[in-house]
Chains A and B, each alone.
Chain A
Amino acid sequence: MSAGMNDLKKQTRSGSHRPLLEVRNLKKYFPIHKGMMRKVVNHVRAVDDVSFFVREGETLGLVGESGCGKTTVSRCILRAFHPTSGEILFREADDQITDLSPLDRAALRRFRPQMQMIFQDPFGSLNPRMTIFEIISEPLYVNGLRSRADRTDQAAELLKLVGLRPEFMQRYPHAFSGGQRQRIGIARALALHPRLVVADEPVSALDVSVQAQVLNLMLDLQEKLNLTYLFVAHDLSVVKHISDRVCVMYVGKVVEMAATKELFEAPRHPYTAALMMAVPVPDPDQRHIIQDLPGEVASPANPPSGCYFHPRCAFAAEVCRTQTPQLREISPDHFVSCHRAEELQLAGIDENKERQ
């Protein structure tokens, strides 16, 4: 019953919405220097022709193993990095669409309040010399709210919103636990009413018993404030838990993107299927399920020819060695970049009915 209701809600929440953010053919290459003259000998293709979109009010999960470029993508979107090429299209509240990729610092200022970030490490991302009030109200001050009384009111509101007591405002970060600090980080990200929130591994540094609290808070806030999340993580269980749609990356490329349920139950790319099979299931009756993928993740400085996944793929054919597959829509809203997507029958993960 509850599952059905949830589905319905999801439809109304994200079904008809237009993209808030669209990334087209994004590339970010980092040069490798060598020798005394610092000559550029090669590039690390951290992000190599990535395209995806995020609809208003939805959560897009971005998953992949370390070094697949998911963090670089999120930093390019926030323009912490200058992309090598490609477009980052952002829709403002008045429906005006702007490409963020060529903008300079001054031009970007107008967009900064609309896109905020939640960081991975709740210990490193809060300044230990600033009180909680200073941390949360700094974005307000920078953006023109100079009255201390107003800022105090707003900071109190924000703290209540994330489930902390406003009395804590004059304390310093060291007085808080990891989960509480992450709540403070979320309050700061929400201070300017952003429309897009990029969360880079927001729960991976937290204890398992605290992770669920922060994930629930993020779901609550999304409903209350109609937020759009780009949720970057390596943990498939966490991504599945929070996302409406999931985008899987491998060595700087998107391999598959689909609605969460569809992607997990019927993956179309061999890498997605292998990734899901590798996740240890917390059920001692399903021990056979662990299957490993041979080999190692390819180096983004020296990727293999054709499909980057072909040396590890059980289904690789001749065409996979020579031609790079393009990301294409094989069924409505299901994108995959595999030459053999149509012919392959891949196993997904069944939903466990016992768990509530």
Chain B
Amino acid sequence: MPSSIKPVTQPSASSLSQEPLLRVEDLKAYFFMDEGTVRAVDGVSFDVFPGKVVGIVGESGCGKSVTMKAILQILEPSAKIISGKVTLRSRFNSLDPDSPEELVELTGLHPDSRKIRKIRGSEIALIPQEPMAAFSPVYTVGNHIIETILLHQDVSKQEARQIAIDVFRSVGISMPEQRIDSYSWELSGGLRQRAIIAMALSCNPRLLIADEPTTAIDVTTQAQILKLLRKLQEERQTSIIFITHDLGVIAQMADEVVVMYLGMVMEKGPVHTIFKDAKHPYTQALLRSIPSVQSTPRLKLPTIAGSIAHPFNRPAGCPFHPRCKHFMRGVCDASQPALAPIAEGHFVSCFLYSSESMSPVATGRQAVPATENNP
């Protein structure tokens, strides 16, 4: 029922006039393999507004990284974008904040086209997951950054080097003049992650895609990096798409949250709504099942029964129904619920809310199996 997907409206009054910087509409990206088709991203829609952080949460295989790759058009050869639109409000001159803007449909561009190559790195920058793998070991980190700057800006090599040193300083790397000539393997995990962020910021992108930027590093370093990202985001008014499986990080960083499961958006809304008033059974169960530093020791956690379905045999209907304790026979396994608004800016894809009533989940609209605590 795609008709029920209304155009997304910006919830906060202050920026009502603002248009989204990036709009993803009903994006579908499938992998075609010998063993079968994997519907990695299956109808994902969300908006990114200027200066906002959108957090995409989900467990492994939920399609959060493929969404990111589809936006940047860097999917693996076996993957194809089946349908959907990704629209970016692009500046003619990416360095000039007053430059006139045009709407560019990224999904319509060839992955090798000049236009998308100009957008990657300068307008949309990526902070990849593995800081070790992101740098080549035979070039200095400075080489990487200077190359990016020379590609997108009309400057000399000397100027580019100076820009690189300045960005290094702004992300909190001490002795940037020396560090710029070191190799990635000479740097510690935290410094390497800072260098990656410096590279992503070197061309002043308006949108930063951070794909699990802190999963490979320790908590104290993670706190440093999160703080840095928040500071840079506030200073530069950069929009960030923050992809992670860590709900703690999402709660700390995001303005808007998109919860994904098996390639579909289960729920999306402002961060407070998602954490305080989640409506989708998956979001609710996920929030309950994570151990928190604030919870009482040695209490049994409520769990989500079963495990994530294999991508080749995804359940029919709602992808979460075999694990859902509000499963309604003949409804949830028959068709896919549409992502429908239930409040201002709050969207849920669940049959519990789809029809006439908006009754809370707890009233128990005929729940049967999926025994909650039974492994």
Contact = CB atoms under 8 A, between A and B. Distances in A.
Interface of A: 2-3, 6, 10, 65-66, 162-163, 177-180, 183, 207-213, 215-217, 219, 234, 236-238, 240-244, 260-261, 264, 274-287, 290-294, 296-297, 349-352, 355-356
6 contacts: A209-B59, A209-B303, A290-B252, A292-B223, A292-B224, A355-B292
Given A240-B293, A243-B297, A280-B252, A212 B307 contact: no
Nearest to B61: A207
Contacts of A215: 291, 301
A183 B375 CA distance: 10
B246 A212 contact: no
Contacts of A213: 303-304, 375
A282 B220 contact: no
A236 B301 contact: no
B251 A236 contact: no
Contacts, number: 180
A280 B246 CA distance: 9
Contacts of B249: 280
B296 A3 contact: yes
Contact of A219 (B191, B271, B300): B300
Nearest to A3: B296
B170 interface: no
Nearest 7 Cβ contacts at the A-B interface: A280-B248, A163-B375, A352-B294, A241-B291, A278-B223, A65-B218, A177-B307
A285 B286 CA distance: 18
A279 B291 contact: no
B70 to A, nearest CB: 22
A31 B299 CA distance: 43
Interface string B240-251: 000001111111
A209 B286 contact: yes
Contact of B223 (A2, A162, A293): A293
Contacts of A275: 219-220
A180 B252 CA distance: 32
Contacts of A260: 297-298
Interface in B220-237: 220-224, 226-227
Nearest to B297: A260
A281 B294 contact: yes
Contacts of A3: 296, 299
Nearest to B59: A207
B214 to A, nearest CB: 9
A6 B298 contact: yes
A236 B286 contact: no
Nearest to A280: B248
Contacts of B221: 296
Interface of B: 59-60, 188-191, 218-224, 226-227, 245-252, 254, 271-272, 275-276, 285-304, 307-308, 323, 373-375
Contacts of B307: 177-180, 207, 209-210
A212 B290 contact: yes
A352 B301 CA distance: 15
A240 B191 CA distance: 29
A209 B224 contact: no
Contacts of B251: 280-284, 286-287
Contact of A296 (B188, B219, B254, B289): B188
B255 to A, nearest CB: 9
Contacts of A351: 294-296
A119 B342 CA distance: 44
A346 B50 CA distance: 39
A234 B297 CA distance: 16
Contact of A352 (B188, B275, B292): B292
Contact of A240 (B218, B287, B295): B295
Contacts of A296: 188, 190-191, 221
A281 B292 CA distance: 7
A238 B272 CA distance: 24
A180 B310 CA distance: 13
B294 A212 contact: no
Contacts of B290: 208, 211-212, 237, 282
Nearest to B227: A292
Contacts of A236: 219, 293
B371 to A, nearest CB: 11
Contacts of A208: 59, 245, 247, 286, 289-290
B253 to A, nearest CB: 8
Contacts of A280: 222-223, 226, 246, 248-249, 251-252
B293 A290 contact: no
Contact of A279 (B272, B293, B304): B293
B299 A6 contact: yes
A240 B303 contact: no
Given A209-B308, A240-B297, A290-B227, A278 B219 contact: yes
Contacts of A349: 293-294
A169 to B, nearest CB: 17
Contacts of A177: 307-308
Contacts of B252: 280-281, 284, 287, 290
A209 B325 CA distance: 14
B231 to A, nearest CB: 11
B76 to A, nearest CB: 21
A339 to B, nearest CB: 21
Given A65-B219, A212-B302, A297-B218, A282 B272 contact: no
Contacts of A290: 223, 226-227, 252
B287 A282 contact: yes
Contacts of B191: 296
B299 A2 contact: yes
Given A180-B307, A213-B303, 14 more contacts: A209-B308, A213-B375, A216-B301, A216-B303, A216-B373, A234-B218, A260-B298, A261-B297, A276-B293, A278-B222, A282-B250, A292-B227, A350-B294, A352-B292
